Structure 1
Amino acid sequence: MKTLLVVHHSPSPGMHELLDAVVAGARDPVIEGVEVKVIPALAATVLDVLAADGYIFGTSANFGYMSGALKYFFDTTYYQCLGAVEARPYGLWVHGNNDTAGAVSSVNKIVKGLGLNRVADILESTGSVDKSDRERCYELGATVAAVMTL
């Protein structure tokens, strides 16, 4: 069984809706052989990262950057995981009030350094969360999980 680690910072109701949709997609009953482990960014550890076979990261866009919680996660795991997680699949969703570009850019730099392999389009959402956002998050979760079964 493969492990998909979902690391997120979901401080708002909108982020929780998106998280729920990502997890539901990753746990789609059609996808077999993937255990989904969901851990808030402030609680995820190096051991969680090393034990996982793939990742989905979720963050709010705060002041033109990823959330402080996701930044803390990367700060505390990066060097211990460097060279040990290369080529593992990942996905990313970002939600902001009106802009996500800085948050996406900051995460992209870190995952590039880790050598992770993006297997789904980055999901960017702004404003109120709607049905389309939830559907796209479901697809994100399902896509990353499905790729892990190949």
Structure 2
Amino acid sequence: MSAKTLLIVAHAPSPNTQKLAQAAFDGANHSDLDVTVILKSPQETQPGDVLAADALLLGTTENLAYMAGLTKDFFDRCYYPVLDKKQGLPFAVYIRAGHDGIGTKRALQTITTGLRWEWVQQALILQGEWQDVFAEQVAELAMTLAAGVEAGVY
């Protein structure tokens, strides 16, 4: 049986958000798991990447109470090519929010409801000033998603 694939699409415009993307990658690549993990930026991610994935972890910043523009661009380019082919795709998200992340979460819920993706966990909203624990939380989220995909739970 071939390994399942977890696609991580992470908008990481700063050193701290780069730490989060790396934490997601490292958490999903836990030594006890047999999952292929692919980390891409939103602008690098193409519909074919989503079509080849068994689950998707999205990382975005909150910009003006909404997702990052490049994250929105990812959805703009990939929405229709994957719409009928990836219904039920296991999905999780982390949001690096300087404010409250609620607008970003709502927008993502709307888009992923249209795609019929399956949220396997509540959005992880990393609010306020940077805390090192954020990276640990993202790593745990990614590891949990990867373990669920490997086990066939999702």
For the aligned pair, the TM-score class normalised by the smaller chain equals over 0.9
Name the CA distance, whole Å, in 2 between partners of 1:2 and 1:86: 17
Q: Identical aligned pairs, as a percentage?
A: 33
Aligned structure 1 segments of 4 or more residues deviating by more than 3 angstroms: none
Matched, 1:58 2:59: yes
Unaligned runs of 5+ in 1: none
Give the SS at the match of 2:106: helix
The alpha-carbon deviation at position 80 of structure 1 amounts to 0.9
**8 A contact 2:11–2:59 mirrored in 1:** yes
Once superposed, what is the RMSD of the aligned Cα atoms? 1.1
User: Can you list the C-alpha shifts for 1:14-43, whole angstroms capped at 9, x where unaligned?
Assistant: 2111111111110111112x1000110011
Name the CA distance, whole Å, in 2 between partners of 1:141 and 1:120: 11
Give the SS at the match of 1:49: helix
**8 A contact 2:61–2:67 mirrored in 1:** yes
Name the CA distance, whole Å, in 1 between partners of 2:100 and 2:43: 23
The alpha-carbon deviation at position 112 of structure 1 amounts to 1.1
Unaligned runs of 5+ in 2: none
Q: What is residue 125 of structure 2 aligned with on the other side?
A: 124
User: Can you list the C-alpha shifts for 1:47-84, whole angstroms capped at 9, x where unaligned?
Assistant: 11101111000100000100000000000010111121
The alpha-carbon deviation at position 96 of structure 1 amounts to 1.8
Amino acid at match of 1:58: G
**8 A contact 2:66–2:104 mirrored in 1:** yes
**8 A contact 1:14–1:128 mirrored in 2:** no
Q: What is residue 105 of structure 1 aligned with on the other side?
A: 106
TM-score by length of 1: 0.94
TM-score by length of 2: 0.92
Q: Give the count of matched residue pairs.
A: 149
Q: What is residue 85 of structure 2 aligned with on the other side?
A: 84
**8 A contact 2:24–2:142 mirrored in 1:** yes
The alpha-carbon deviation at position 117 of structure 1 amounts to 1.0
Name the CA distance, whole Å, in 2 between partners of 1:135 and 1:84: 33
Structure-to-structure mapping, 1:16-35, within 5 angstroms:
16-32=18-34, 34-35=35-36
Name the CA distance, whole Å, in 2 between partners of 1:136 and 1:77: 27
The alpha-carbon deviation at position 132 of structure 1 amounts to 2.2
Q: What is residue 10 of structure 1 aligned with on the other side?
A: 12
